[in-house]
């Protein structure tokens, strides 16, 4: 069982690369952003609470996210591995994930940090906004999300450096070249 965290700022290609990882390695996919958007669509209580944060470009509170993640993890049937996409986004979430996995005798094996320049992130997200219909893909919210990333999420990098599972991945250039770099990191960990 391989636990992979795909990490990076908004627009760094976590979703795109997750799809390629799933197709190649058959891993289960846990995307907290996708789960939240589904909850919003279904107009659940959780969805209603989360929407207010998402639309402002802020993080949904840790307690809510950690509880949601734990339930999702428990519901997973056996897979070759799991890819955590968009989680953890705070150091507290990273600590909670470590505890949850430890209970199963597991740990995060690989943390992939997709590195992309700020200007490129903004251009990609604006382009995605033209087709995604996502309420948070507009310039004002994009800039807020990048700020929130720098302040609250970037410290997660130090957590995984200390754990020894950290891998920096150049997230610019052709999608398949980026995926090649990701594949090497995953295969070296197996
Ligand atoms: P994403 O699809 O990963 O870009 O997530 C979209 C939005 O959902 C984020 O801007 C946050 O508001 C919320 N969200 C997703 N994952 C998390 C998380 N792990 N912690 C807090 N908020 C999250």
What is the reported pLDDT for 80?
85
pLDDT digits (tens, 9 = 90+) for 110-160: 999 999 999 999 999 999 999 999 999 999 999 999 999 999 999 999 999
Nearest CA to ligand 1 atom 14: 33
The pLDDT score that the predictor gives to residue 139 is 96
Q: 19-73, pLDDT tens digit by residue?
A: 999 999 999 999 999 999 999 999 999 999 999 999 999 999 999 999 999 999 9
89 is catalytic: yes
SS3 of 74, please?
helix
pTM of the model: 0.97
Domain residue ranges of the chain, discontinuous segments joined by +: 2-189
Question: Annotated catalytic residue: which of 56, 98, 134, 181?
Answer: 134
Which CATH superfamily hosts domain 2-189? P-loop containing nucleotide triphosphate hydrolases (3.40.50.300)
Q: What is the average pLDDT across 182-187?
A: 97
79 pLDDT higher than 80? no
Radius of gyration of the chain (CA): 16
- The confidence score (pLDDT) of residue 78 equals 73
Q: Rounded to whole angstroms, how far apart are CA atoms 78 and 104? A: 12
CB 3 within 8 A of CB 189: no
Q: Whose CA is nearest to atom 1 of ligand 1?
A: 33
Q: How far apart are CA 162 and CA 160, in angstroms?
A: 5
d(CA 176, CA 170): 12
């Amino acid at each position: 069982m391989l636990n992979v965290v795909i990490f990076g700022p908004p627009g760094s290609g976590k979703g795109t690369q997750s799809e390629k990882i799933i197709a190649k390695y058959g891993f289960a996919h846990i995307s907290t952003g996708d789960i939240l958007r589904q909850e919003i669509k279904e107009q659940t209580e959780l969805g209603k609470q989360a929407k207010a944060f998402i639309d402002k470009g802020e993080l949904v509170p840790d307690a809510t996210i950690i509880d949601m993640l734990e339930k999702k993890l428990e519901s997973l049937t056996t897979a070759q591995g799991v890819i955590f996409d968009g989680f953890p986004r705070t150091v507290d979430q990273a600590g909670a994930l470590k505890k949850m996995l430890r209970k199963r005798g597991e740990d995060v094996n690989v943390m992939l940090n997709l590195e992309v320049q700020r200007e490129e992130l903004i251009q990609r997200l604006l382009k995605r906004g033209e087709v995604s219909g996502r309420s948070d893909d507009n310039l004002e919210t994009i800039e807020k999300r990048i700020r929130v990333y720098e302040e609250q999420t970037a410290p997660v990098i130090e957590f995984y450096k200390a754990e020894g599972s950290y891998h920096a991945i150049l997230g610019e250039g052709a999608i398949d070249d980026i995926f090649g770099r990701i594949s090497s990191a995953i295969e070296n960990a197996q």
